[in-house]
Chain A
Amino acid sequence: DAMVIQNPRYQVTQFGKPVTLSCSQTLNHNVMYWYQQKSSQAPKLLFHYYDKDFNNEADTPDNFQSRRPNTSFCFLDIRSPGLGDAAMYLCATSTRRGSVQYFGPGTRLTVT
């Protein structure tokens, strides 16, 4: 029944060591989003894909990249994680822009 799946649920990486988080969906939705949620803060949009069209938020650091090889999968790559990148990373999908978003369980990233 899982609709938006994120792997792994917990990820530990070292300072400066590239890390990739993955998201997959069984909903066949056109739009996929990545949010960053730091402790006691609101989720913050990093970027989203509308089909293959990539949309980056203006204040998303260059250190963060994303790939969407097909409709079902989307990846978040952090090229050189810093201690400040430790957070929960949420993936979400929607049928179109502006409609209800369905969230995955998140990946909690720890940077040591």
Chain B
Amino acid sequence: AQSVSQHNHHVILSEAASLELGCNYSYGGTVNLFWYVQYPGQHLQLLLKYFSGDPLVKGIKGFEAEFIKSKFSFNLRKPSVQWSDTAEYFCAVNAESGGGADGLTFGKGTHLIIQP
């Protein structure tokens, strides 16, 4: 079974700082990779995804992530954060198997606080 590890559980940054949130997964086969975000009081929503092709993917609100297969990593980045980026960020993996991929395996999440 696959697992997902997010290195930072709580991150506090000032506005305009650069952000990188680490995500590693364990699974030897083909995976689909996601970052979801949950803003305060709102539901989980997709930030970006990687299925195949260019390992550098761009998402909404200036976020991007890079898939490094050799490192089993899918780190999330943003060059300059804003106060409105305060949220919980979840990395998730969906492993392809013979019968197709099933549900998502999530990391424990990173609580990001941006200070004005």
Contacts and interface: CB of A to CB of B under 8 A. Distances in A.
A28 B36 CA distance: 22
B103 A45 contact: yes
Interface residues of B, number: 24
Contact of B102 (A40, A97, A100, A103): A97
A96 B99 CA distance: 12
| Main SS class of interface, A | loop
B101 A98 contact: yes
B72 to A, nearest CB: 17
Q: Is the contact region of chain B dominated by helix, strand, or loop, or is it mixed?
A: loop
Interface of A: 4, 33, 35, 40-45, 48, 55, 57, 90, 92, 96-98, 100-106
21 contacts: A33-B104, A40-B108, A42-B4, A42-B90, A42-B105, A42-B108, A42-B109, A43-B106, A45-B105, A92-B44, A97-B101, A98-B32, A98-B96, A98-B100, A98-B101, A100-B34, A100-B46, A101-B104, A103-B36, A105-B42, A106-B43
